[in-house]
A and B are shown apart, each in its own frame.
Chain A
Amino acid sequence: MNPIQVEDAPSLQERLRRTARTVRIHALQMVHHSKLGHPGGDLSSADILVTLYLAIMKIDPRDPAWPDRDRFIMSKGHCSAALYATLAAAGILEEQALQTFMDPLSMLNGHPDRNKVPGVEANTGPLGHGLPIAVGCALAARMRKASWRTFVLTGDGELQEGSNWEAALCAAQYGLDNLVLIIDRNRIQQGDFTEAIIKLNPLAEKWRAFGWQVVEVDGHDYDDLQRVLRSAPQVLGKPTCIIANTVKGRGVSFMENSPKWHHRVPSDAELAAAVDELMKDEL
């Protein structure tokens, strides 16, 4: 992995930007290394992940199982490279481990295993599992009169799984205002654009109709993301749904907004070009 130079005491904004760049580069290197992965979604979710881990969540990198930690459930477990790279950037996972992504007997499976990887809360991969688990985490906080919050990141195509809507009804019924759902709305799933496969729009209206407080943000704008993540819940007694509008493949021009990069593996030349572009890009 390329070490990234970090200057002294950068602003939080600058730290988020640089860390997200590192996460993007590491994720692409990992996918290139294992010849497997989902680079498009890794890149669309990187800014959300980095904002959560560096600016929002109450966690202790030295004690990832601290009982009162905020919970983060990575429901789109296929974007494990971005998750692992973020955990490394947050100091929860040894950065060296990233080099073993999907190697035989590596702790870093193609989809995360909470029993092997520190900081992973749920074994995801099959879609539609994260939101129900997050509902349970939020219910547990209430039962235990604890103040932790639960964050869950889903893909958008993933919302075609019915289990999400079972959980959506439940979260509203129980008024889980300690639960924050973030939808990585990159508008592309494995086979095509979401709206060409099974329409999700009008997405915000759907969540509102299910009883959630809905906020739409630019999922690559750190100020936007921090503001809404800090202010949740905006309405007491309602779970929060953040529709983070993102670009699949964000940061690498030839990967952006292209269904084929859902799980295409970059060649040596493509990886070099992508890293070059990310290093130059000031976004």
Chain B
Amino acid sequence: MNDGAVNSAETFDCRVAFASTLDEMAEGDERVCAVVNDSVGSTKLKGFRDRFPDRFVNVGIAEQNMVGASAGLANGGMIPFCCGASCFLTARSMEQVKVDLGYAKNNVKLCGMSSGMAYGELGPTHHSIEDLAWTRVIPNLTVIVPADPVETRAAMLWAKDHVGPVFLRISRMPVPRLFADGYVFEPGKAAVLRQGNDVALLANGVMVVRALEAAARLHERGIEARVLNMSSMSPIDREAVIRAAKETRGIVTAEEASVYGGLGGAVAEIVADEHPVRVKRLGVPGVFAPTGNAEFLLAHFGLTAEGIEKAAVDLLHLGTGQ
């Protein structure tokens, strides 16, 4: 539980927690290894490479081989963390992810770094806003979008001990710390970060802090918003979504991803099946982003505290016919 009072003075790059956690796990378990696609710097794994050179594989710029070789490493009893920019890792190797990991159930941890629109000005080629839609439909593949460095570490610790493929979506955008030390990641569980029964704000990744800020602003207007951290995208917490549908007057989803097929899509599927209510999906609305840095692009698409607040207010007005 979190009171919504986020200390946003200090922010963190989740890749730092990612790299230190991988070091820590490799120290304690000799099966842990890393596979990269000439992405030593962008995955922040220089330290790992120097410390565990025998368990570090750089396949070069070759994502199909990176994922296939990771499947083979898993076959040989290793626990590979297969790390690359999420845009290339997922798109270039999608068939290997589907067949070698999902279908074959190989024990590989895919780490999609710098996901969403974190690469900003580099443009849509480097944005990874489709990855949630692509990975969420693959059976056996657990999909996790951590919200802060503490959850990044917790999700990695869980992933190492889980036998099966996992996709971890790791942002490089600075986020404040939301969770306390000792936080344990549970797959298929949505953490309630703030209680409220007027509207529900469901978010993951870098959007969670923005949802909490939106809830605080809505409170000032007399609207009590429930905030759920939907870091576990697959499996997803259906019960928490159904409760949000039943106990509030509408749901706003917010993700640094396409509005098609990701969190918004998943929530819409569940409420359509179980308890139809109005859902407003915030994300990238089926377009390639214009030029701009990451913060500019989030604002451009309304992926801000203000944007979420406005969507919630609009939703409630629509819901009451005002």
Contact = CB atoms under 8 A, between A and B. Distances in A.
A116 to B, nearest CB: 11
Contacts of B71: 122, 132-133, 136
B60 A169 contact: yes
A268 to B, nearest CB: 35
B77 A136 contact: no
Contacts of B68: 129, 131-133, 135-136, 163, 167
A137 to B, nearest CB: 4
Nearest to B56: A143
A167 to B, nearest CB: 5
A99 B80 CA distance: 38
Contacts of A147: none
B99 A166 contact: no
Interface in A100-125: 113-115, 121-125
B60 A173 contact: yes
B78 A143 contact: yes
B40 to A, nearest CB: 15
B2 interface: no
Interface of B: 33, 54-55, 57, 59-60, 62, 64-65, 67-78, 80, 95-96, 99-100, 103-105
A200 interface: no
Given A123-B103, A125-B99, A143 B54 contact: yes
Nearest to A162: B64
A136 B33 contact: no
Given A124-B99, A129-B96, 5 more contacts: A115-B104, A140-B73, A140-B77, A144-B76, A169-B65
Contacts of A122: 71, 75, 100, 104
Contacts of A40: none
8 contacts: A123-B103, A126-B95, A131-B68, A132-B71, A136-B73, A140-B72, A140-B78, A141-B76
A204 interface: no
A138 B78 CA distance: 11
Nearest to B104: A123
Most buried by B among A73, A139, A150: A139
B72 A132 contact: yes
B146 to A, nearest CB: 26
A203 B4 CA distance: 64
A17 interface: no
A243 B41 CA distance: 39
A147 to B, nearest CB: 12
Given A126-B99, A138-B72, A132 B65 contact: yes
A140 B75 contact: yes
Contacts of B73: 136-137, 139-140, 143
B59 A166 contact: yes
Nearest to B82: A136
A128 B67 CA distance: 12
A137 B75 contact: yes
A142 B72 CA distance: 12
Contact of A136 (B64, B74, B95): B74
Nearest to A133: B72
A115 B105 contact: yes
B72 A135 contact: yes
Contacts of A254: none
A184 to B, nearest CB: 19
A134 interface: yes
A167 B77 CA distance: 20
